[in-house]
Amino acid sequence: MSRRPYVREVPPTSWYFRMPRYMRYMAREVTSIFIGIYTMIMVFGLAALAAGPERWDAFLKALQTPLSLTFHWLALAFALYNSFTWFNVAPKALPIQVGEELMPDIVVAGGHYVVWVLLSLFILFWAGVF
């Protein structure tokens, strides 16, 4: 009897359509594109600031266009989705054992949320929002 194992190839560009859980994973990963573009805009802003008041004003004006506003709302939504999905799986990477018991997931994930809110408040305060 001869062995002749048959290899079924995984389609390299469409594999994630096979299961909802793969789509959820891709959704999480795709959010990073929007966060990346947002970061690029920030870098452009810094360059505009360095180039003088005229360029800076033009940059601020460009931010207020409907296209830019739409993008920023989208980017915010995706950034939140990205943060929530990662915070919720954080307990897997950082289990905290006290004695014989593991701390419940909500303690580790909750800790992330608390630090996140405090840091956000601090930055908003520092930026003069309050």
Cβ contacts of 51-58, under 8 Å, gap ≥ 24: none
Q: Using the rule CB under 8 A, is 66 a contact of another protein?
A: no
91, exposed or middle or buried, with CB in 10 Å at 0-12, 13-18, 19+?
Answer: buried
CB of 6 to another protein, least distance (A): 4
**Which range binds another protein by CB under 8 A, 17-25, 62-70, 76-84, 110-118?**
17-25
> 68: Cβ–Cβ under 8 A, 6 or more apart, which residues?
62
Q: Which of 17, 25, 116, 122 binds another protein (CB under 8 A)?
A: 25
Q: Give how far the C-alpha of residue 82 lies from the chain's centroid of Cα atoms, to the nearest Å.
A: 4
Kindly state the number of chain residues that form the binding site for another protein, as judged by CB under 8 A.
28
Rg (CA), the chain: 22
Q: Which of 43, 93, 127, 129 binds another protein (CB under 8 A)?
A: 93
Q: Using the rule CB under 8 A, is 100 a contact of another protein?
A: yes
User: What end-to-end distance do the CA atoms of the chain give, in Å?
Assistant: 79
Q: Which of 30, 44, 95, 117 binds another protein (CB under 8 A)?
A: 95
Query: Pairing relation of β-strands 97-98 and 101-102?
Result: antiparallel
**Which range binds another protein by CB under 8 A, 48-56, 76-84, 88-96, 113-121?**
88-96
Residues that bind another protein (CB under 8 A): 1-8, 10, 12, 15-16, 18-19, 21-22, 25, 29, 89, 92-95, 97, 99-102
